[in-house]
Amino acid sequence: MSLPIPVCAACGEAAFPELFVCPSCAGTTWRYEPVEHGMLEGSTVNARDGVHVGLVRVPLGPLVVARVEGAAQAGDEVALDADGLVPVARPI
Amino acid sequence: MSGAPEARIVGAAEVPYTRHPADDVSTESLLADAFVRVLADAGIERSAVDGLGVASFMLPPDRAIDLAWKIGVRARWLMDDGNGGVSGIQLLQHAARAIESGDASTIVLLSGDHFDEGGFRQMVDRYNLVTEKYLAKIPTGGPNPLFAMITRKQMDERGLTREDYGRLVVAQRRWASLNPGAVYRSPLTLQEYLDAPAVAEPLHRLDCVPVVSGADALVVSGSGDGVKIRALRSLYNYDGQRGDGLRTGIAEIADDLWRDAGVGPGDVDVISVYDDYPAMAIAQLDDLGLVPDGDIAAFLRHRVEGERLPVNTSGGQLSAGQAGCAGGMIGLVEAFTQLTGRAGDRQVEHARLAVVTGYGMVLYRYGGCANAVVLEGP
């Protein structure tokens, strides 16, 4: 139950989604760090299909667009997971 | 005295946008229609055209060269640009440089799109690889939820309410009611804006541009009277998607733009900002320096609603819909129309200077592109 976040192997800068060349140091090697939780900074629900979309700030820095499953609100700590490549946030 | 020609915009045209085009309408037929109309507007023969620039999402697998063949243009200069909301100003920038360096003498710029139901869904889900991999499978169903969250953040940070956004939408609709070419012309009340059904809170239906088919066109030439480019600045991938999307790249080019133009934000008579969502139109007005005290709510109430500041005087995309890449040229066409005194009932008196912005290409969470131009009438 975690979301892999790309981190530059040279300088430690985190990015999401993955990049090729690090925006900070121009490094080209990336490793993936599993992140288990983050802070839900914003969310909304598509009226058409009821899909709950959120913005989650992960402790490494990046803001991730996630599918929110369950009743989480902006300001809540959420658990992070991945459905294939798609970030999923759930209430803790 | 230099012998280099100075590029001017000498013609503009718009193929009327429509929600329900005839069965035989296609992206290439709209672009061809825009070509014929803009030659007539500029009063030039096809044989005078020696450059062609095209912006379109749906034209592929065809490109500018295929269109050049089908509309009979023999070109010394050719450019494709599919960068949506910034494509119009980007094409204009390169066309002007081409004319000033002698690569071409008369360039036609075309932008437009036609979407059928399946085509639009595919464009939205495959907008770029990141959308395809990370957003389409959430599913976000397009950019609405992303800009809903940006709008909410702007509301929180700048103390804005839905009524404040409504003032801009209602004002643009009032301009549209004076424009026979606008798609949505019936006057709108603030209450009707507020009562529209929710799309993704805080966005409701009248905050989102409907999908339409249509096309826009410009002629840029090194000879003849026309609208002059006083300044043009661009900035792409300005923050690596590391910000919150509320401050666009316009904020970083505004000082250079106004300095190059030799005027300030208070000196322009006509303003066209890229209005895919009210929050982004407002962000660009702020980034241009039009809200010097930072009080956006007061600006919308007093300047936009009260004094009828000429913002998006065609009605903008919010009253016309978004015809794909044509959204990147609609503001230029309206500025040209105003600066040449041909805007009819919506004509801004003594319009001499206009500022037009481009914004867009959502890389992940918000648009990564911005450009702006200051134009001067003949």
Alpha-carbon distance of B66 to B69, in angstroms, equals 5
B240 in contact with chain A, both atoms CB, cutoff 8 A: yes
CATH classification of the domain holding B95: 3.40.47.10
Q: Distance between CA B243 and CA B269 in Å, rounded? A: 32
Q: Considering only alpha carbons, which residue of chain A is nearest residue B142? A: A46
pLDDT value of residue B119: 83
With beta carbons less than 8 A apart as the criterion, state whether A79 and A56 touch. Answer: no
Lowest mean pLDDT among B21-25, B67-71, B150-154, B373-377: B21-25
> What is the reported pLDDT for B2?
56
Reported as a single tens digit per residue, the pLDDT across B216-228 is: 999 999 998 999 9
Domain membership flag for residue B56: yes
| Among the partner residues A44, A47, A85, nearest to B197 by beta-carbon distance | A47
pLDDT digits (tens, 9 = 90+) for B355-366: 999 999 999 999
DSSP string computed for B346-359? GPPTT--EEEEEEE
Q: What is the pLDDT of residues B159-185, one digit of tens each?
A: 999 999 999 999 999 999 999 989 999
CATH of A3-91, one of 2.60.40, 1.10.3470, 2.40.50, 1.10.10: 2.40.50
Domain boundaries, chain A: 3-91
**Domain membership flag for residue B113:** yes
Residues from chain B that touch A51, judged by Cβ atoms under 8 A, are: 138-141, 145
Number of structural domains, chain B? 1
pLDDT at B224: 84
Closest Cα of chain A to B62: distance in Å? 30
For the cut 50, the answer to whether the pLDDT of residue B152 exceeds it is yes
- The token duo for B209 is 């541009």
Task: Collect all residues of chain A within an 8 Å Cβ-Cβ radius of residue B128.
Answer: none
- Distance separating alpha carbons of residues B47 and B254, to the nearest angstrom: 38
Containing domain of residue B41, as a range?
8-118+216-221
pLDDT, tens digit (0-9, with 9 covering 90-100), for A67-88: 999 999 999 999 999 999 999 9
Chain A residues within 8 A of B201 when measuring between CB atoms: 44-45
The residue in chain A having the minimum alpha-carbon distance to the alpha carbon of residue B239 is: A23
pLDDT tens readout for residues B245-259 = 999 999 999 999 999
- Give which of B179, B183, B158 is closest to B282, Cα–Cα: B158
Instruction: Kindly report the average pLDDT of chain B as a whole number.
Output: 96
Residue B42 belongs to a domain: yes
Which pLDDT score is estimated for B1?
A: 43
- Residue B69: pLDDT over 90: yes
Q: Return d(Cα B58, Cα A57) in angstroms, integer.
A: 35
Residue B195 within any structural domain of the chain? no
Q: What pLDDT does residue B123 have? A: 86
Under an 8 A CB cutoff, do A23 and B240 touch? yes
Residue B81 above 90 pLDDT? Answer: yes
Task: Give residue-wise pLDDT tens across range B322-364.
Answer: 999 999 999 999 999 999 999 999 999 999 999 999 999 999 9
| Largest Cα–Cα separation, chain B | 61
Alpha-carbon distance B151 to A48, whole Å? 19
Q: What is the pLDDT of residues B181-211, one digit of tens each?
A: 899 999 999 999 999 999 999 999 999 998 9
Q: B140 vs A51: CB contact, 8 Å cut-off?
A: yes
